[in-house]
């Protein structure tokens, strides 16, 4: 998916507002697809992002967690974890499928982190739980590139 135009989407958010990728263009966008709320690895991943939140703000990056739980469960999870970024509800995995981040046999999101540049192209795509500083470094590299591709 690297270098491709990010698939547009619109999902309900824990902020109460629908989030559409198209309306976020002009900022960096980080999508964290994760399998489940309240599982040890998912909690750790989202807590690490929360702990590095200032770095994402400084990078002009909008961060969103995405999984298949209902919006009500997402809201409760955000409050319990004190997350500083919203979670998007993708109950059928529709968006996760577009980003090749879905495990249909389970059916859960496959842990995947995607970063999208202000022009809407994917410049970071990694399965698993990359360190948030790795994602921030990729954003910085993208910003600093003197021969920055038409991103």
Q: Which residues are catalytic?
A: 42
Residues sharing a CB contact under 8 Å with residue 147, sequence separation 6 or more, in sequence order = none
Inter-helix orientation angle 132-144/40-51, to 10°: 40
Determine contact, residues 19/95, Cβ cutoff 8 Å.
no
* Bridge pairing between strands 10-13 and 102-103: unpaired
Determine the 3-state secondary structure of 134 from DSSP. helix
Measure the CA dihedral 138/49/109/71, to 10°.
-130
């Amino acid at each position: 998916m690297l270098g491709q135009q990010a698939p547009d989407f619109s999902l309900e958010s824990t902020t109460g507002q629908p989030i559409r990728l198209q309306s976020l263009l002009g900022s960096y966008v980080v999508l964290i697809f994760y399998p489940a709320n309240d599982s040890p690895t998912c909690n750790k991943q989202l807590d690490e992002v929360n702990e590095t939140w200032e770095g994402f703000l400084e990078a002009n990056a909008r961060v969103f967690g995405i999984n298949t739980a209902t919006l009500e469960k997402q809201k409760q999870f955000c409050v319990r974890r004190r997350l500083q970024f919203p979670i998007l509800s993708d109950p059928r995995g529709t968006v996760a499928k577009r980003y090749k981040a879905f495990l249909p046999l389970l059916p859960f999101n496959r842990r995947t982190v995607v970063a999208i540049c202000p022009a809407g192209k994917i410049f970071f795509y990694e399965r698993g739980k990359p360190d948030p500083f790795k994602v921030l470094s990729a954003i910085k590299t993208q910003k600093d590139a003197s021969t920055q591709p038409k991103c």
